[in-house]
């Protein structure tokens, strides 16, 4: 397997490191070209939003599958049609943590099961590094969405914490806790590589644009 790794910042660099000799690195010093991308089996892209337009056009012309971790970018409305026309398969995600997607499913269950509890209270607490500007985190807001219940959300900023999220469900007679802690940002690189392997092992997936969560859900359903 040969993978075009486009963008070698913190996450893209981690992707390239984990792939080792299978990675063909492209960045501002070695710019990607259609000819070189075509020599690889798939692309993983972690570039800033402002650099995405150029890479979108390159990948559409190269017609290879792609896994995108780019955020802060407004995707063209006609992108799904253009990707289908190219016969390509693209997966787009803002968080490639496999564990976080298991959390998503657990929160769906907790939210539905709340009907069985008497007067439950929900508290989501998140902790991140001191340089993170937004509070609460986007992930904490996603937790509330996945839970589909009104919840108190609180935030804390400490050191170089990669990300800790906790849910506390409290009733008069018991407490339920759910926690996710990121130990290393490589977990996002690991999830992107998992997606690459899944796409290549499932050529029957039709051309088009998919969310990472939809690909995860397909893989999860195969376990049931």
Interacting residues of 157 by C-beta distance below 8 A, sequence separation 6+ = 127, 128, 129, 130, 132, 135
8-20 mean pLDDT: 94
Catalytic (active site) residue 132: yes
Query: In this predicted model, what pLDDT tens digit does every residue of 61-79 receive, in sequence order?
Result: 999 999 999 988 999 999 9
pLDDT of residue 124: 98
- 53 vs 17: CA distance, rounded Å: 25
183-194 mean pLDDT: 95
Range list of H helices, the chain? 10-19, 34-38, 52-62, 79-85, 98-113, 138-147, 186-201, 212-221
User: What's phi and psi for 25, nearest 5 deg?
Assistant: -85, 135
Q: Which strand ranges, in their side-by-side order, compose the sheet holding 152-157?
A: 152-157, 121-128, 164-170, 175-181
Whether residue 133 contacts residue 157, with contact meaning beta carbons closer than 8 Å, is answered with: no
- 101 vs 104: CA distance, rounded Å: 5
> Mapping DSSP to helix (H, G, I), strand (E, B) and coil, where does residue 77 land?
coil
pLDDT of residue 83: 98
Query: In this predicted model, what pLDDT tens digit does every residue of 107-141 receive, in sequence order?
Result: 999 999 999 999 999 999 999 999 888 899 989 99
Domain ranges of the chain: 3-96+186-221, 99-181
140-168 mean pLDDT: 96
pLDDT of residue 138: 86
Topology at the third CATH level for domain 3-96+186-221:
Rossmann fold (3.40.50)
Mean residue pLDDT of the chain comes to: 95
CATH superfamily of 99-181: Dihydrodipicolinate Reductase; domain 2 (3.30.360.10)
Which one is catalytic: 132, 162, 168, 170? 132
pLDDT of residue 71: 84
179-197 mean pLDDT: 95
Question: Minimal CA–CA distance to 139: which of 168, 103, 173?
Answer: 103
Which one is catalytic: 128, 165, 180, 186? 128
Catalytic (active site) residue 128: yes
Q: Residue 110 to residues 21, 81, 95, 224: CA-CA distances in angstroms?
A: 43, 37, 21, 19
99-181 and 3-96+186-221 share a CATH fold = no
The strand pairing partners of 89, in sequence order, are 208
């Amino acid at each position: 397997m040969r993978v075009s790794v486009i963008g070698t910042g913190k996450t893209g660099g981690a992707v390239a490191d984990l792939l080792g000799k299978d990675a063909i690195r492209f960045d501002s010093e070695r710019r990607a070209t259609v000819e070189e991308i075509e020599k690889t089996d798939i692309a993983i892209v972690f570039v800033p939003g402002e650099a995405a337009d150029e890479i979108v056009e390159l990948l559409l012309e190269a017609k290879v599958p792609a896994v995108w971790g780019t955020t802060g970018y407004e995707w063209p409305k006609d992108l799904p049609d253009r990707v289908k026309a190219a016969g390509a398969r693209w997966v787009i995600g803002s968080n490639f943590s496999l564990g976080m997607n298991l959390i998503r499913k657990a929160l769906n269950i907790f939210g539905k099961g709340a009907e069985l509890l008497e007067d439950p209270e929900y508290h989501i607490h998140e902790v991140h590094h001191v340089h993170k500007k937004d509070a609460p985190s986007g992930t904490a807001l996603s937790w509330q969405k996945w839970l589909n219940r009104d919840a108190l959300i609180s935030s804390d900023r400490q050191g170089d914490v990669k990300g800790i999220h906790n849910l506390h469900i409290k009733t008069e007679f018991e407490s339920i806790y759910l926690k996710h802690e990121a130990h290393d940002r490589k977990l996002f690189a690991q999830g992107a590589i998992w997606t690459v392997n899944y796409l290549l092992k499932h050529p029957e997936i039709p051309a088009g644009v998919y969310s990472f969560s939809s690909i995860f859900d397909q893989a999860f359903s195969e376990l049931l």
